[in-house]
Amino acid sequence: MRTRTKLVNLGRNPQRFEGVVNTPIVRGSTLLSPTLAHWQEKNRQHAADEFGASIYGRFGTATHHALQEALTELSGGYRTMLYPSGLAALANVLTALVEAGDHILLTDSAYAATSQFLQTTLARFNVSFTRYAPGIGAEIRELIQPNTRVVLVESPGSETFELQDIPAIAKEAHAAGAFVVMDNTWATPLFFDAFKHGVDVAVQAATKYIVGHSDAMLGVATCNQRAWPAIRDSSQNFGQTCSPDDAYLALRGLRTMEVRLRQHWASGVQVAQWLESRPEVERVLHPALPSHPDHELWKRDFTGAPGLFAMALKPIPEQALHAFIDALQLFGLGVSWGGYESLALPFSPVGREYTAWPYAGPGVRLHIGLEDPLDLIADLENGFIAIQNSQASLRQEEVVLA
Ligand SMILES: *Cc1c(COP(=O)(O)O)cnc(C)c1O
């Protein structure tokens, strides 16, 4: 099956549920057995394969297992664990793979909450970490210590959108016996085949493109066979689970994911190219544009680009940035992304060692949703007019004050 056919068919077995097309929401804590022999047999099956039989709601019901199977098959991994958020997935995966005294290599462009977790929680358990420049490639070899257990990659990086040479990094990490954990939320398995590129654990905030409608929090970690036992055991020890309702929303999101992502991609590139022509914009940071410094890597390793990218505006007073954002009618102002709706969020990267913001003006992260891109362009144009008006009124105030 090709990807689109997989997305329609994975995790569904209508005959098991009275013929309904979608795997239903199976709510349950207690799962009853009619006889002790049945109970013992189910426990044996569960011990042999945690997806072989459900014995308790915390280990998932048919809804969870359908999503886990679908994600595993879609990503080409071995098994998938579910978590109540993307951050919970990252925190649990990192915790599962290390012990006191171990060391983690972290891309400087990582999602800020991932860095925070290493800096605060894991540090309390004597797990140290070193940041590395996202473009490091095979030279990561020089940063690997005897106790390095995990190399965390995220490509493109949060906010700044640097790509990473993941096969080169994975080769060095594996030579040293370390695991490669990737935050693959941006590309998803549709646009980046993590396992083919040497990743051991592919984490996604399913909150974003898998759910796709801004109405649930969910994290997933798909593992290869080497990483799975540690991640399963540790995550189960922490009692990690998610609601069957949210698993259902993720399954429903999968059905349309390819169609949505293809549109996010096309519209995103259209808006990004228009922005490149605007005098108010210093730089557009979109890996699918030839102007992106890592565009060749994108062409080599990725099969698409979703709707999330950033731009650096030319320097403007704070008041003009407010005027720009407040003038936008179609772009919502808020965190997260990956829903059907467009978002615009000013940012300035903090806590970075290697990837300081080199632009004098502010950064704005854009999520291009499923609206007509021409309407989005018109909305941004209104925003730019608001910048000009704000600067004109500032100049008038100066004249009056003078
Ligand atoms: C949103 C996000 C996360 C965290 O996911 P939550 O579901 O919000 O916890 C992790 N990594 C990246 C790249 C994200 O964008």
* 41-74 pLDDT per residue, tens: 999 999 988 887 889 999 999 999 999 999 999 9
* Secondary structure class of 269 (helix, strand, coil): helix
Cβ-contact 363, 347 below 8 angstroms: yes
**Mean pLDDT computed over 134-152:** 98
Q: Whose C-alpha lies nearest to ligand 1, atom 11?
A: 111
Q: Please give the structure tokens belonging to residue 18.
A: 């009275």
SS3 category, 129: strand
Q: Is 27 a catalytic residue?
A: no
Do 170 and 186 meet the contact criterion of CB atoms below 8 Å apart?
A: no
Give residue 356's pLDDT: 76
What Cα–Cα distance (Å) separates residue 166 from each residue in 70, 87, 169, 285, 322? 25, 21, 5, 20, 38
User: Does 181 sit in the ligand 1 pocket, CB within 6 Å?
Assistant: no
Positive or negative: CA dihedral 107, 113, 116, 120: negative
Q: What is the mean pLDDT of residues 96-124?
A: 97
Joined tokens for residue 386: 């608001």
Cα–Cα distance measured from residue 286 to residue 79, given in angstroms and rounded to the nearest whole number:
32
219 in Cβ contact with 246 (< 8 Å):
no
Average pLDDT of the residues in 372-392: 96
Whether residue 233 lies in the annotated active site: no
Helix ranges restricted to H, 150-302? 166-175, 188-191, 228-237, 244-276, 295-301
Is residue 184 lining ligand 1, measured as CB closer than 6 Å?
no
pLDDT tens string 239-268: 999 999 999 999 999 999 999 999 999 999
pLDDT per residue over 212-222, tens digit each?
999 999 999 99
Q: Which pair of tokens denotes residue 40?
A: 């013992």
CA distances from 77 to 30, 52, 72, 224 (A): 30, 18, 5, 5
CB of 82 within 6 A of ligand 1: the answer is: no
Q: What three-state secondary structure class fits 203?
A: strand
Decide whether any atom of ligand 1 lies within 6 Å of the 217 Cβ: yes
Give 356-381 pLDDT, tens digit per residue.
789 999 999 999 999 999 999 999 99
Q: Where are the alpha helices (DSSP H) in 10-119?
A: 36-48, 62-75, 86-97, 112-117
The verdict on whether 111 is a catalytic residue reads: yes
Q: In this predicted structure, what is the pLDDT of residue 355? A: 76
Q: What would you report as the CA-atom Rg of the chain, rounded to the nearest whole angstrom?
A: 23
Q: Is-catalytic flag, 58?
A: yes
Angle, CA 168 vertex, CA 75 and CA 265 arms, to 5°: 45
Question: What Cα–Cα distance (Å) separates residue 3 from each residue in 10, 232, 284?
Answer: 10, 27, 30
- Strands 79-83 and 219-223: what pairing? antiparallel
